[in-house]
């Protein structure tokens, strides 16, 4: 395997973390993602287009459940000991999210145990684990409480790792949204605290090198994607319009568009929703009357007929709230519409060359099985932040080992 630093992306989603690690110079070994929609996006961009993963012959290139992998390929995973520098990624966060129902019996929470089993087999030098900050908050229940973050740290310490964690606000790292996440780093031979201090120390130089500000606002992120920049028939959905590029007006827009040929064609996944007349009227009223950048609910009685759980009219000069999988929670700062998948992806810091696959949205019962494009984006780790973490880990590994 040479001198490359190999990593495995576990619970990979559509590949946000891997996109950042690719930019940071890591070599992918393989990625584990059980959802077919999310895997098809990862496959298209990182396996087929960028040839980023070496991919072992014993593992089919397809979506895969971690529990089946652990059962079928125990020996192959054991054989990877000493060959894998990093295991990246954490179990799906919905069961822990403060925005959701926080059910301590949610099946997804049991994946934490599968995660520990995987680490025990592969024993990488470094682990980077990301989750919602609700991961550190106890579950209320009849039998006391469960705090999964301390469970994970205890399990890793038993395996001989040193651990450190922080709640990191990604808006301080060039990502144009207030996204707070629990980040855990575990290392066998180095101090994981050094990763956090290196990350912070390098932040300004990193953003300068990319030509962006450490605190990117919404206008800087998506102003070249307005509907007023022009439209063309959507290439992947009949009867819809998609947006074309306006002029790049900020360093962030230029960074996101790197390697893209601007030719008047539709921007990938930049399909505008066909809003009904009454919805357009509602969005216009929100633009006129809602407090900018503040989430409102129907109980606030600011506009009539608001049948959404909550909605925020974006403040063009500030960061967005956390991007989720629900598209109608955000209204554009100038146009009476919700954001497109591409605008969500920009706010998550996905480069424009990264194309999303599968349906745009799904509803009803299908929501439990399907991971459409909006959800793929909402669930991802912002690549721009992942790149900085990847670089910080490489820098710490290049130092002498610590006791």
The DSSP result for 341-385, as a single string, is HHHHHHHTT--TT----S-S---GGGGGT---HHHHHHHSPPHHH
Q: Which of 14, 64, 93, 207 is catalytic?
A: 93
- The yes-or-no verdict on residue 138 having pLDDT over 60 is no
Residue 109: the pLDDT is: 59
Short-list 27, 64, 63, 18, CA closest to 45: 18
What's the CA gap between 77 and 82, in Å, rounded?
A: 11
Cut 0.95: pTM above it = no
pLDDT band at 1 (very low <50, low <70, confident <90, very high): low
What's the CA gap between 287 and 334, in Å, rounded?
A: 7
Stretch(es) of the chain classified as CATH 3.90.120 = 218-377
- The yes-or-no verdict on residue 402 having pLDDT over 80 is no
265 is an active site residue: no
Which residue did the predictor score with more confidence, 346 or 93? 346
Q: What is the DSSP letter of 305?
A: T
Residue 368: the pLDDT is: 67
Mean pLDDT on 365-387? 89
Residue 100: the pLDDT is: 44
Short-list 243, 251, 218, CA closest to 341: 243
What's the CA gap between 6 and 126, in Å, rounded?
A: 11
214: tokens are 């450490």
In CATH terms, 218-377 corresponds, of 1.10.3470, 1.25.40, 3.90.120, 1.10.1760, to 3.90.120
- The yes-or-no verdict on residue 9 having pLDDT over 90 is yes
Which residue blocks in 140-234 are alpha helix, DSSP H? 148-158, 193-210, 218-222
Whether 59 and 90 have beta carbons less than 8 Å apart is answered as no
272 CB burial (10 A radius; 0-12, 13-18, 19+): middle
pLDDT band at 147 (very low <50, low <70, confident <90, very high): low
- The yes-or-no verdict on residue 144 having pLDDT over 60 is no
Residue 185: the pLDDT is: 97
Topology adopted by domain 6-213+382-397: Rossmann fold (3.40.50)
What's the CA gap between 234 and 244, in Å, rounded?
A: 10
pLDDT band at 92 (very low <50, low <70, confident <90, very high): confident
Stretch(es) of the chain classified as CATH 3.40.50.150 = 6-213+382-397
């Amino acid at each position: 395997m040479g001198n490359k630093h190999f990593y495995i992306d576990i619970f990979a989603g559509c590949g946000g973390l891997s996109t950042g690690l690719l930019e940071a110079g890591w070599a992918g070994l393989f990625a584990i993602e059980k959802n077919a929609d999310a895997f098809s996006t990862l496959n298209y961009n990182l396996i087929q287009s960028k040839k980023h993963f070496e991919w072992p012959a014993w593992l089919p290139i397809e979506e895969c459940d971690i529990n089946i992998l652990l059962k079928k390929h125990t020996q192959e995973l054991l054989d990877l000991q000493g060959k894998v520098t990093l295991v990246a990624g954490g179990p799906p966060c919905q069961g822990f999210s403060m925005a959701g129902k926080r059910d301590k019996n949610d099946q997804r929470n049991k994946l934490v145990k599968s995660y520990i089993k995987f680490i025990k087999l592969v024993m990488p030098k470094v682990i980077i684990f990301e989750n919602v900050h609700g991961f550190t908050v106890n579950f209320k229940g009849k039998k006391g409480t469960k705090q999964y973050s301390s469970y994970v740290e205890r399990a890793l310490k038993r395996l001989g790792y040193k651990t450190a964690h922080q709640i990191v606000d990604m808006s301080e790292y060039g990502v144009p949204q207030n996204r707070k996440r629990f980040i855990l780093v575990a290392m066998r031979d180095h101090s994981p605290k050094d990763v956090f201090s290196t990350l912070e120390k390098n932040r300004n130089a990193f953003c300068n090198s990319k030509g962006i500000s450490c605190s990117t606002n919404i206008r800087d992120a998506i102003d070249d994607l307005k509907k007023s920049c022009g439209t063309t028939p959507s290439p992947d959905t009949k009867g819809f319009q998609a947006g074309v590029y306006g002029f790049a007006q900020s360093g962030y827009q230029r960074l996101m568009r790197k390697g893209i040929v601007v030719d008047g064609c539709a921007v990938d996944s930049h399909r505008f929703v066909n809003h009904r007349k009454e919805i357009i009227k509602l969005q216009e009223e929100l633009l006129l009357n809602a407090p900018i950048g503040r989430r409102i609910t129907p109980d606030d009685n600011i506009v009539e007929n608001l049948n959404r759980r909550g909605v925020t009219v974006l403040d063009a000069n500030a960061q967005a709230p956390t991007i989720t999988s629900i598209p109608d929670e955000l209204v554009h700062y100038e146009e009476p519409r919700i954001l497109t998948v591409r605008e969500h992806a920009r706010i998550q810091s996905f480069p424009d060359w990264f194309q999303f696959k599968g349906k745009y949205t799904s509803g009803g019962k299908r929501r439990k099985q399907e991971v459409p494009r909006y959800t793929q984006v909402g669930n991802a780790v912002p690549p721009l932040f992942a790149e900085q973490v990847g670089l910080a880990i490489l820098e710490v590994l290049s130092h002498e080992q610590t006791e």
